[in-house]
Amino acid sequence: DITEILKESAHKMNKCVVVVTHSNELAKQADVVFRLKKGELQVLERIDDSPAQSRSRRNNTPRSERRTH
């Protein structure tokens, strides 16, 4: 599967892969997911079917607190 190849390669080379999608199934495979909602960028810690179960942070999160993978 191409997503596994991309993910493994990115981890080995310490790089990131940016994917723009409407697919929750594809997003569930990501290490970090950014969602644009009402013009505001959110970082979701995990992907669930219910937005109420997701924890989000605004895009002004200090760099030291951001996850980097």
> Is the residue at 25 inside a domain?
yes
**Inside any domain, residue 5:** no
Q: How confident is the model at residue 6 (pLDDT cuts 50, 70, 90)?
A: very high
Q: Could you give the CA distance from residue 46 to residue 28 in angstroms, rounded to a whole number?
A: 8
On whether residue 44 sits in a domain, the answer given is: yes
Asked if 37 contacts 54 with a C-beta cutoff of 8 angstroms, the reply is: no
| This model's pTM is above 0.75 | no
- The number of domains in the chain is 1
47: left (phi over 0), alpha (psi -120 to 50) or beta: beta
Does residue 38 lie within any of the structural domains?
yes
Q: In this structure, is residue 46 part of a structural domain?
A: yes
Is there a domain that residue 8 lies in?
no
Residue 63 falls inside a structural domain = yes
Of residues 7 and 60, more confidence is placed in 7
Residue 43 structural domain: 21-69
63/53 Cα distance (integer angstroms)? 24
Q: pLDDT higher for 38 or 60?
A: 38
In a domain, 14, yes or no: no
Element (H, E) at 25: helix 24-27
